[in-house]
Structure 1
Amino acid sequence: MKRFIIEQSSADIISHSGLSLIGQAIKRYTHLSGQLDASVPMRHGIKHSDVIKSYLALLSIGKNDFEAINGIESEFYFTSAMDIDEIPGEATLRQRMDKHAISFLPIVEKASRDFLSNIQPALRPLSTGHIPVDADVTPMDNSGSHVTTHP
């Protein structure tokens, strides 16, 4: 998997720049790819892990519909950032999710738990007992910004 160097620049930042962090997090802190590919045997076609990681990438950039996969601006960046070999088409994404979602769900849930366990974040429950998890995938420096409130 290609490792990206994140540094300050005067260049425009594309909205999908955070995918490199998502891809690295999946690869470094979970066993998602291997477990997905071993979960349901395949003879040919796009790997299950490529399908799920593509959908996770879409969710990470705020897209939840299968047809959003058609709007990927840079295939090279997308495949490199998410460590996938091939981007599934809309039909493949939809069909694979329809057919194998029940098999994939426990693996994705385990990957979520593994990720949180491996990074060991400081989690504190709310008064309701829920634990909020907020992840911002846009690497922006907002240290010089100011919030103005109006009475």
Structure 2
Amino acid sequence: MSTFNNPLMLGFDHFEQMLEQLSKSGGEGYPPYNIEQVRQDALRISLAVAGFSEEDMQITLEQNQLIIHGKQREEKDRVFLHRGIAARQFKKKFVLAEGIEVTGAEIDNGLLHIDLLLPTPSVNSRQIQITKKSNKKDMKTIDSGELI
């Protein structure tokens, strides 16, 4: 039984699914990345993608997953005497909390920056009115069949 199956935690089933997705993405370290808090309400993910151009990468948002996929195009006309820089593809997944917005992405000096905006938490409070359940046994009927 996981923490999210606790009967006092209602509606948290999707968190368990998110944790499962996160564990499937594995701990692959390529490409290396940083996550920094640039403001109180904003984050920036920076991936080291030297050798990749904008056309070589694709960023998608599927449900609550931010997926960055990179694949370098093979250039057939190049002849390498030594190839020490691998031209490998990558797929990096980040699970985003509900309400996080992706505001943009840019590439600068071999770093892909993806900016995220965090939701501002709002405190909602309202009073729920309690009503008395009507009991048909307590009600009297008149000759016309109407309940009083």
State the TM-score, normalized to the length of structure 1.
0.24
More strand per residue: 2
User: Which has the larger Rg?
Assistant: 2
Which structure shows the higher helix fraction? 1
TM-score, normalising length: structure 2: 0.24
